[in-house]
């Protein structure tokens, strides 16, 4: 069993450039920040390395960090423009009974993260959800299509983004109340 701090030390020694820092803010569990385009290499290492063996990706979630500029739209509703999007990976080792949380952050202009679908199959649908809701593009994902919203929902329209604006009509049906 290893603490997140120990996992961080192992990762920092193995990938000095890809592993950025460790955030420990009680009571939230410590979070290791990773380069978005290196997450697949680090994931594979975490899964296969002896003593670590993170064989289960419990959840992968996309987040709009809401740290951009506050602005208001034509109707005066507050929206947040710019800022960053993040993906959180909660890993668990069934054998060693330890957990770790990883995070990658990308800008809204270029939200590109490497897919971990090849490492944990769980990630397939979770990455599709993060793409659908937040608009994060997972590179080398085998089928990055919408999973919850209809397939013909307007391209580039991701409902959980803080600068999201609902369309007036969808297939002739009025959307606002």
Partner 1 sequence: MKSLLDTEFSDSNIVIAKADDLMNWARLSSLWQLGFGLACCAIEMMATSASHRDFDRFGVIPRNTPRQADVIIISGTVTLKMATRIKRLYEQIPDPKYIISMGSCANCGGPYWEHGYHVLKGVDRVIPVDVYVPGCPPRPEALLEGLLKLQEKIRNESLRKRIA
Report the interface residues with partner 1, using CB under 8 A: 148-150, 159, 164, 166, 170-171, 173-177
CA-closest candidate to residue 61, choices 31, 81, 82: 31
Give the nearer residue to partner 1 in terms of CB position, either 72 or 166. Answer: 166
User: Do residues 1 and 64 lie in contact, with contact meaning Cβ atoms separated by under 8 Å?
Assistant: no
Give the integer Cα–Cα distance in Å for 75 and 144.
34
Give the integer Cα–Cα distance in Å for 63 and 108.
11
CB of 82 to partner 1, least distance (A): 21
CB of 177 to partner 1, least distance (A): 5
Give the nearer residue to partner 1 in terms of CB position, either 88 or 170. Answer: 170
The length of the chain in residues reads 177
User: Do residues 18 and 7 lie in contact, with contact meaning Cβ atoms separated by under 8 Å?
Assistant: no
Q: What is the distance of C-alpha 65 from the center of its chain? A: 11
Around 97, how many Cα atoms within 13 Å sit in the side-chain half-sphere?
1
CB of 170 to partner 1, least distance (A): 5
CA dihedral 57, 58, 60, 61 (to 10 degrees): -170
Give the nearer residue to partner 1 in terms of CB position, either 36 or 135. Answer: 135
Give the nearer residue to partner 1 in terms of CB position, either 139 or 148. Answer: 148
CB of 160 to partner 1, least distance (A): 9
Give the nearer residue to partner 1 in terms of CB position, either 108 or 158. Answer: 158
């Amino acid at each position: 069993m290893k603490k997140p701090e120990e996992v961080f030390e192992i990762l920092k020694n193995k990938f000095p450039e890809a592993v950025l820092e460790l955030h420990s803010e009680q009571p939230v569990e410590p979070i290791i920040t990773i380069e978005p385009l290196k997450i697949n290499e680090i994931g594979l290492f975490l899964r296969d390395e002896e003593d670590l063996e993170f064989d289960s990706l419990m959840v992968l979630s996309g987040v709009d960090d809401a740290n951009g500029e506050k602005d208001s739209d034509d109707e005066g509703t507050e929206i947040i423009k710019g800022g960053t999007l993040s993906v959180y990976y909660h890993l668990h080792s069934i054998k060693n009974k330890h957990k770790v949380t990883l995070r990658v952050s990308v800008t809204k202009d270029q939200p590109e993260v490497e897919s971990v679908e090849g490492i944990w199959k769980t990630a397939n649908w979770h990455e599709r959800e993060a793409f659908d809701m937040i608009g994060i593009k997972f590179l080398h994902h085998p089928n990055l299509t919408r999973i919850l919203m209809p397939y013909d929902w307007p391209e580039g329209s991701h409902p959980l983004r803080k600068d999201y604006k609902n369309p007036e009509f969808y297939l002739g049906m009025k959307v606002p109340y």
